Structure 1
């Protein structure tokens, strides 16, 4: 970075609701917070509203992921299929990762807002900013990688069941989980290792890569790497889920699987498709914007807020898309849509088979007279 001339090296003071003013040289501020970062004078009402929003978001995320964790833990104890065990391990890891993401990132956000976003006062050396940026990257990539791994595992389980039962043991799942988390951690720590610290963004409420004016090729490469890895994870999920769904459909139509086993496969596929859809909607715009490099700071902040909803919506996939919940929803929908004169239908576990045999019809077949 070129040396800044002396006449710019003047004190830069900030003020806020209740924090004393602090002054640091412009050149030091530019290195830590970016040349376009300016102090934000917010009122106490705006600060309290921002803190309240962050607290509500963090609380909802923690409660949702905790509920999903206990549901997955309970379902794993009465697991009917051995082939469902690896999927349950990945799903539980995804929920735990999202839970930790809310705890860590939410706590830092509340801390930043509580100090009126005066980074120069509480973080003169940029350590909190580096930690914040690294955790955002880590807890952003980890769910995408885990969703991709779940899609690949289900694709192997449906298309290559023999290899899945013999070649994918629990130790392999644990190793794969370790690789996923280590890869996400390396990408998150890469800017610090390359002496390209994370920067406070223009809204001064979060830290990320240097997105304003790239100083060198690393400032372009690091955001592109983040976006490319995220898009590749989404692409793998889309391809694997499509192959799995087509294979399951073909297999069921040929009646090669029993209805009981098929019902659990369908449950997992529905959950995977929902996770993929949530990830694409939440993370897709942000990742694509980093590839095009054509978004304003306000738009970027909005896209980041959308991406954070991925960790809130993920657990509701496991809460709502369970077989018991889908059965109740099916029966409720059936009562609303069918005429009152018709007898209630019986839920069956088979996929794309006749799951609507009325009790009246069954009685007539048994007693034709």
Structure 2
């Protein structure tokens, strides 16, 4: 029940106290109105729908290009790279559709202004999907960089070790490893919770973080950063090896064989740059959020909450940028750009002779013509 207090308004102290209470109420109301406007602004479903549509279309186009190239080059050394790349784009496509559909469903149900009291089945599924589809591209990019580094530096060993069957086994193991990490909350190692503005779920890093949540976030960030670091090392070694091979002025047929490697390494560099820009902020913000997690103020929690939202939005752009690496960084596209910028049409006398003139099947056509 409410107790009624009688105030003596002739007392200056009472008047001052009442004034302070009134001012506090006004400030709280203003903050509430500001927060409501902030939630409305940050949770516009049109932006999420546009991002989902653009990502789906981009990945479908890239998947079509890669599948067509893989069918033509099934028996060549590039087939392994194309199989990895096609799997990466397919994973990005699924990672855009599945979590995106759940997020749009949460939008359609209305955005709550308060954090939900518990993580339901939808939150558990969405959190697991974000961890799984977050680690898979990083693992696949690392595997592609390692495979290309072996192919460039040790071609004979690569030909002996790498096969289509082993590549498919490696893909299955990568997906299983990411799935195992995503399912850790099932065995009580970490927990998925709704994240501000309560339209997505991820590892609990704020609000009563337990030691298992800290370990889960450390594992996720460490795996992601390690994958990016290994990709950087392998791509650097591959690039230096190819540059040195060009400088030694090898024979023409050896240069032609290296043109595939150059194209693949350029695409890998594009993937690595895209992944670093999009994923490093979220991985770093996740590590920052668990530092001194038991001795944080409310202002610190608010700052980390904002950083996490920015990080996950930036990470979602990686699934849009990856397919454009394959769409744009192809020899056919680069050849057209070269023609437009230099005005040359006779490609046989240009420096792009090294890039194996023609489309991916041009070498086979040239062989038939010579015969």
**Is this a same-fold pair by TM over 0.5?**
yes
Shift of 1:55: 1.1
Shift of 1:302: 1.0
Aligned to 1:213: 207
Give the Cα separation in 2 of the matches to 1:150 and 1:252.
Answer: 22
Does residue 305 (structure 1) correspond to residue 313 (structure 2)? The answer is yes
Aligned to 2:138: 144
Does residue 57 (structure 1) correspond to residue 65 (structure 2)? The answer is no
Aligned to 2:365: none
Does residue 165 (structure 1) correspond to residue 171 (structure 2)? The answer is no
Is the CA contact (8 Å cut-off) linking 1:54 and 1:110 kept in structure 2? yes
Give the Cα separation in 2 of the matches to 1:217 and 1:123.
Answer: 20
Give the Cα separation in 1 of the matches to 2:83 and 2:265.
Answer: 15
Shift of 1:233: 0.3
Aligned to 2:333: 325
2:322 to 314, 321, 335: 314
Shift of 1:162: 0.5
For 2:60, what is the secondary structure of its paired residue?
A: helix
Aligned to 2:98: 104
Shift of 1:344: 6.9
Give the Cα separation in 2 of the matches to 1:228 and 1:49.
Answer: 30
Root-mean-square deviation (CA, aligned residues, Å) is 3.0
Is the CA contact (8 Å cut-off) linking 2:132 and 2:181 kept in structure 1? yes
2:261 to 251, 262, 265: 265
Give the Cα separation in 1 of the matches to 2:334 and 2:40.
Answer: 42
- More off after superposition, 48-57 vs 141-150: 48-57
Unmatched tracts of structure 1, length 5 or more: 1-37, 336-341, 356-369
Provide the aligned length of Structure 1 versus Structure 2: 309
Give the Cα separation in 1 of the matches to 2:287 and 2:334.
Answer: 38
Aligned to 1:227: 221
Give the Cα separation in 1 of the matches to 2:140 and 2:61.
Answer: 19
In structure 2, do the counterparts of structure 1 residues 199 and 333 end up closer, same or farther at CA, with 3 Å as the change threshold? same
Is the CA contact (8 Å cut-off) linking 2:91 and 2:137 kept in structure 1? yes
Deviations 1:202-225 (A, max 9, x none): 311111111113443112111111
1:281 to 272, 277, 280: 277
Q: TM-score, length-normalised on structure 1?
A: 0.77
| 1:1-369 pair list within 5 angstroms | 46=40, 50-79=44-73, 82-118=76-112, 126-194=120-188, 196-256=190-250, 258-293=254-289, 296-335=304-343, 348=350
Is the CA contact (8 Å cut-off) linking 2:255 and 2:354 kept in structure 1? no
Aligned to 1:362: none
In structure 2, do the counterparts of structure 1 residues 58 and 98 end up closer, same or farther at CA, with 3 Å as the change threshold? same
Give the Cα separation in 1 of the matches to 2:219 and 2:247.
Answer: 42
Q: TM-score, length-normalised on structure 2?
A: 0.76
Deviations 1:221-252 (A, max 9, x none): 11111000000000010000000011111122
Is the CA contact (8 Å cut-off) linking 1:263 and 1:350 kept in structure 2? no
Is the CA contact (8 Å cut-off) linking 1:230 and 1:287 kept in structure 2? yes
Is the CA contact (8 Å cut-off) linking 1:282 and 1:307 kept in structure 2? yes
Aligned to 1:13: none
Give the Cα separation in 2 of the matches to 1:347 and 1:240.
Answer: 33
Shift of 1:74: 1.2
